[in-house]
A and B are shown apart, each in its own frame.
Chain A
Amino acid sequence: MTLTLDQSEPGQTTRTPKAKPRGGALDPFFEALCAASATMLLAALCGVLISRTIGGWPAFHKFGLKFFTVSSWNPVTEVYGAAGPIVGTLITSFLALLISLPVAFGVAVFLVEFCPSFLRRTIGTAVELLAGIPSIVYGMWGLFVLAPWFALHVQLPLLLAAKPGSLLEKLTTGIPNGANILTASIILAIMILPFMAAVLRDLLMTIPSQVRESAYGLGGNTVEVILSVSLPYIKRSAVGAIMLGLGRALGETMAVTFIIGNSHAFPKNLFDSGSTIASTIANEFNEATTEMHTSSLIALGLVLFMITFAVLAIARALLGRPKVA
C-alpha cells in the first residue's frame, strides 16, 4: 500500500497576484525591527564592557598589578588597592556556597524522595516563592536580627573564652557587633538557598524512574541510590546549577552591604569586618569626588563583571541554558 500525501487536483491552488495579502511589504521591515532589538542587547553588553574599561583605565594604568595585590584603599592619599574587596567577594561567596549547598541538596532530596505528597507541592512552591523575595529584605533581617544575635551568642562568648595569644583569639578577634564576613556569608547562603534547592529538585526529577527503580530493585537503600545512582546521573548539570548560585552570590549587593561591616582592609579572620566589590561600589560611588577614586570603583566593577562572566560561562557550558527566574 502506498501512502499518498498530496491528494489535491493539480491546478486547484492557482493564485492570482492580486490575492497577495496586505502587509506583505511589512515583512522585511518587521524582521529588521526584531533583529534591531536583538542587536540592542548585544550593544548593551558591549556598552557595559567598553564603558567599564574606559572608565577604569586610569586606575589600571596607575596601579597596574598592584591594584589586585595591595589592600590599602585610601581616598586621602589616593592609593587604591582592591585586594580587600576582591578577596572579600570571593570568600563570602564560597562560604555561602559551602553552607548553602549541603542544605539545598538535603531539601531537594527530601522533596523528591521522602516528602509526603500533600506537602510536596506546598513546600516546593514556598521555596520557589522565597527565591523572589527582594534581597534588601534579607539584608535588613541580617542587620536587625542575625547580627545582634550572633554578636551576643557567638562572638562575645568566643572572645571571652579565648586566652590571649592563643589560636582561638587569632581566629575570633574583631569588633563584636555581628557585622562581619561570616554573618554576611550566612545571609548570602540563606538568600541563594531557595534558588539552589529549586534547581537541584528539578534536576533530581529529570532522572527517569526506571533508573531509580532498578537501583532500588537491586537492593539499594535510599542513601546508596541517591549517592551512587541519582547524583552521578545529574552531576554535570548540578555543577552548572551550583555555578549559577555562585554567580548570584558574587553579584549580590544589598544583602551584603547591610552586614559586612564595610572595611577595606584585608580581612584577618572570619569574625573581622570586610567588604565586597559590590558593597564598596554601593557605599562609595556617590561620594567619590576625585577622578582616581571613581576610576578605581569602575575598575572594581570590571573585575566583578569578569568574575561573574567566567562563572556564568562555565555554568552554561555544563548546564546548557539556565532557567529564567
Chain B
Amino acid sequence: MRSQMLLIRRKASNLVFVGFCWLATAIALAALFAILFTLVKDGVGGMNLKIFTMDTPAPGSDGGLRNAIVGSIMMCGVAMLIAITIGVLAGTWLAEYAGESRYGKVVRFVNDVLLSAPSILIGLFIYEMLVKPFHGFSGWAGAVALAFLATPVITRTTEDVLKLQPSALREAGVALGSPLASTIRRVLWRAGQTGILTGGLLAFARISGETAPLLFTALNNQFFSANMSKPMANLPSVIFNYALSAYDDWRRLAWAGALVIAVAVLSVNIIARTLARETRPS
C-alpha cells in the first residue's frame, strides 16, 4: 500500500516537473516571438525606400534614416579597425607569449572585466577622455567608445583560436628555423583566420546595436554629415529619441530603424555561426 502511494507520488512529481519544463519553454518562446512579431509588424509598416534615401525629418514631414545609417556604419567601421588591430595583437600575446605568467593572468582577468563592463560606463569614460577635453561631441569619440566594447571580444576569441592550433604547427615553424613572429603571422594567424573572423563578426554584431555608449560621445545629428569630428547621427540614438517622442511618424521611423538594426545583427550572427560550424573539426 505504501509503495503504491510512493509510486503515485513519484509519478505525479515527475509529471509536474515535465509539465513545468514544457510550459517554461512555451512561455519563453511566446515572449520572444511576441517581441519579434511586434518588431516585424511595426518595422515593416514603417519600411519603405525613403528610409535609405532621405535624412531624418522634422515631425510631420517626410523622411528617412539615411544619415543615421551612414553614421552608424562609419562609426562601427572605424571602431572595428581599432578593435581588430588591438584585439588580435593582444590575443596573440596572451596565447603565444604570456603563458602562465602573472602579468598574463592579470591581463586575462582585465579583459574579462571589460567584456562584461556596463556599456554606459565606457560611454562616460570616453566622454571624459575625448569629448570634454576637445569641447565637443564627435563621431571619433563614438567610434572609440564602440572600439572599447569590441576589443575584449576579439582579444578573447583570438586567444582561444590560437590556443586551439596544434603545437605541431609551432614546432614545424621552429624546425624550419623561422622566427616565432613569422610563424605566428604566416602560419598560426592563417590557420586561425576563420575563427578570428568569427570573433570579429560577433564583436561587430555586439556594437552595432549599442546605444548607451553613443549618447555621450557621438550625440546625434539631425542632418547628413560624413565629418567624424562633428556630432554624428547614428541609428541607436535616433531610435531612442524618436521612440520616446510624441509624434506618430517619428515612432514609425523608430520601429523601422529597430528592424534595420535587428536584421543586420541577426544576419551577421548567422554568418558568424555558419563560419564557426564549417571550421569546427568534429
Contacts and interface: CB of A to CB of B under 8 A. Distances in A.
Contacts of B39: 137, 141
A61 interface: no
Contacts of B34: 141, 145
Contact of A26 (B86, B98, B181): B181
A89 to B, nearest CB: 10
B31 A193 contact: yes
A41 B266 contact: no
Nearest to B125: A48
Given A132-B205, A134-B209, A136-B239, A107 B28 contact: yes
Interface string B1-43: 0000000001101101110111111011101101110110010
Interface string A227-239: 1000000000000
Contacts of B262: 133-134, 137
Q: What is the predominant secondary structure among interface residues of chain B facing chain A? A: helix
B122 interface: yes
A24 B261 CA distance: 46
A113 B107 contact: no
Nearest to A102: B24
Contacts of A258: 243-244
B181 A282 contact: no
Nearest to A281: B120
B124 interface: yes
B178 interface: yes
A18 to B, nearest CB: 12
Interface stretch (B50-58, B62-70, B73-81, B150-158): B150-158
Interface in A254-294: 254, 258, 278, 281-282, 285-286
B90 A38 contact: yes
Given A110-B21, A322-B112, A37 B86 contact: yes
B222 to A, nearest CB: 16
Interface string A292-303: 000001100100
Interface in B83-104: 85-87, 89-90, 92-94, 96-98
Contacts of B205: 132, 325
B35 A137 contact: yes
B38 A312 contact: no
Contact of B216 (A26, A144, A286): A286
Interface in A169-183: none
Contacts of B208: 134
Q: Range of interface residues on chain B? A: 35 or more
Given A221-B10, A305-B118, A140 B216 contact: no
Interface stretch (A65-73, A78-86, A156-164, A243-251): A243-251
A114 interface: yes
Interface in A311-325: 312, 316, 321-322, 324-325
B281 interface: no
A224 B21 contact: no
A44 B258 contact: no
A111 B36 CA distance: 21
B125 A47 contact: yes
A277 to B, nearest CB: 9
A6 interface: no
A51 interface: yes
Contacts of A34: 89-90, 92-93, 96-97
B116 A129 contact: no
B115 A136 contact: no
Given A30-B185, A137-B39, 9 more contacts: A24-B179, A30-B181, A31-B180, A37-B89, A47-B125, A51-B128, A145-B38, A223-B16, A285-B215
Q: What 4 pairs across the A-B complex have the smallest Cβ distances?
A: A106-B24, A134-B209, A251-B118, A34-B93
Interface of B: 10-11, 13-14, 16-18, 20-25, 27-29, 31-32, 34-36, 38-39, 42, 85-87, 89-90, 92-94, 96-98, 106-122, 124-125, 127-129, 148, 151-153, 155-157, 160, 177-182, 184-185, 199, 202, 205-206, 208-212, 215-216, 219, 236, 239-240, 243-244, 251, 254-255, 258, 261-262, 265-266, 269-270, 273
23 contacts: A31-B181, A37-B87, A38-B107, A44-B114, A103-B24, A132-B269, A133-B262, A140-B239, A140-B254, A190-B31, A221-B14, A222-B14, A223-B14, A223-B18, A226-B17, A247-B116, A251-B118, A253-B118, A285-B124, A312-B116, A324-B115, A324-B156, A324-B199
